[in-house]
Homo-oligomer: A and B are copies of this chain.
Amino acid sequence: MIEVMPETIIDTFSVSRLDILDPEGIADESLLPSLSREDSLRLYELLFLSRAFDGRALNLQREGRIGTYPSILGQEAAQVGSAFALKKSDWVFPSFRETGVHITLGYPLELLFRYWAGDERGLLCPDGLNVLPVSVSVGTHIPHAVGAAMAARYRGDQVAAVAYFGDGATSKGDFHEGFNIAGVYRLPVVFICQNNQWAISVPRSRQTASATLAQKAFAYGIEGIQVDGNDVFAVYSATRQALERARGGGGPTFIECFTYRISHHTTADDADRYRSSAEVEEWKQRDPLERLRRFLEKRGYWNKDYQADLEKRTREMIDQAVRDAESAPAPERSEIFRTVFEKCTPRQARDLEVSADADL
């Protein structure tokens, strides 16, 4: 028999959720962020471009023109909406499934294609952008955003650092250590989790027993919120607010974007082995693009001609990027030695010479 002790309650917490735009494209006007017509259309075009890029990448993979690729299908609003709130001066630490973030921030499409084709030079972020190379190792980049935030504060820069990761990453020790340090020092960092309900074959319910991911913030004394991750306005608003809090000295925020991975984990995965198509179909009804399109149509910002033109522009842009990527000369053997250290070690220099000889 389990006796239950009456205990004194010494603290209480609550988890909140933000929803603005529903699947029918109807917005809660009281919550709607003040975005111009241009901005709203820009958001739509970025969502569209992200999806189109994704589709092309899947095709290229099937044709053997790029390697394993992780689709972002269904997660476009979480990525575009959050990245749209960033300033150029913010520092971004992406995971490997952030194509929509890269695209929103203006990372060259050509480089993305090159990276996924197995060309390391795809990760050479252009100057002026502070987008770190993708972290293939899940969640282990979270402390780096924390460190960048600490450095920014030390420097007195009004800059936030942002880490992107998935629901699976919340189980990692580095998630914990990074969040905890950010909490202690109230650092200007925003943690954006795309809870797409799956970590390869492991469903969210098996990833952790906490009812929401957002509530994990309580463990670190930081702000946490769940947002509808398929609602680009909710994601944008929550991120903007968190960024302002961060830059203003209000400390870190954890944003759980509640969304869904419509596609397989990557092109090497077969999701039919472990999840039902009914679940996928249900989530397709909550499509982030379609709901924004409906909203724009209702406002009179969207029509078929616009769409046709957008599709044409987008296709051309992607075609060009693929052409550029595929016409880039193959990397040379010396490339593997070039950036390990600032200067090659004597041994590396010798190996580099040997390989140069072998090239002749």
Give chain A's interface residues, CB within 8 Å of chain B: 1-19, 30-31, 171-177, 180, 183-184, 186, 206-212, 215-216, 218-222, 225-226, 237-238, 241, 244-245, 248, 250
Contact = CB atoms under 8 A, between A and B. Distances in A.
Contacts of A15: 9-13
A173 B207 CA distance: 16
Contact of A173 (B174, B186, B225): B174
B221 A219 contact: no
Given A2-B241, A173-B172, A180-B171, A7 B222 contact: no
B14 A11 contact: yes
A13 B212 CA distance: 12
Contacts of A180: 171, 208-209
A7 B183 contact: no
Nearest to A227: B7
A9 B15 CA distance: 6
Secondary structure dominating the interface of A:
mixed
B14 A8 contact: no
Contacts of A208: 180, 183-184, 219-221
B215 A11 contact: yes
Number of copies of this protein chain within its complex: 2
A215 B212 contact: no
A218 B6 contact: no
- The 9 A-B pairs of least Cβ separation, nearest first, read A173-B173, A209-B221, A176-B176, A7-B16, A183-B209, A219-B219, A216-B219, A12-B14, A11-B15
A278 B178 CA distance: 33
Nearest to A244: B2
A245 B210 CA distance: 18
B215 A211 contact: no
Nearest to A237: B5
Contacts of A30: 6
Given A2-B245, A17-B7, A218 B210 contact: yes
A16 B10 CA distance: 6
Question: Which of A3, A5, A210, A244 lies at the interface centre, i.e. has the most chain B CB atoms within 10 A of its CB?
Answer: A5
Contacts of A250: 2
A86 to B, nearest CB: 17
A50 to B, nearest CB: 25
11 contacts: A2-B245, A10-B17, A11-B14, A11-B211, A11-B215, A12-B14, A173-B174, A209-B222, A210-B219, A210-B220, A219-B219
